[in-house]
Amino acid sequence: MRQVNVYVNDRKAGVLTEMHPGKGYSFKYDPVYLSSDAPSISVSLSKNNASYESSSLFPFFANMLPEGANRKVICRTYRIDENDLFGILAAMAGKDFIGGVQIKTTAK
């Protein structure tokens, strides 16, 4: 099970979890973020107390990933399979994403 933290404008919004490699994902809002007046991270992941679950990486997060030559370079550099979307997202944790949503690794 792999996890990354999701931040919006430097506020922890929730945790994205890969349940089994490439076979199931969940996103759960952080209770503090959920009780704040901060917006949902996306229309498809509205603020909700329940955990969102999907058999594929949520489109919102998949759309944050690089494409084409940039993806190939990142995968080669970090030795990640190009089909391991969660792995690519985790490898990019802490890097500059477009917009207010950031991905950061969870503390171990």
Residue spans per domain, the chain: 2-105
Q: What is the model's pLDDT at position 92?
A: 85
Residue type, 21: P
Task: Give the pLDDT confidence of 35-74 residue by residue, as tens digits.
Answer: 999 999 999 999 999 999 999 999 999 988 888 898 899 8
Model's pTM, two decimal places?
A: 0.87
Give backbone dihedrals phi and psi of 75, rounded to 5 degrees, phi first.
-65, -40
Q: What is the model's pLDDT at position 105?
A: 85
Longest Cα pair distance anywhere in the chain, in angstroms? 41
Nearest to 102 by CA among 3, 2, 1, 4: 4
Q: What is the model's pLDDT at position 47?
A: 94
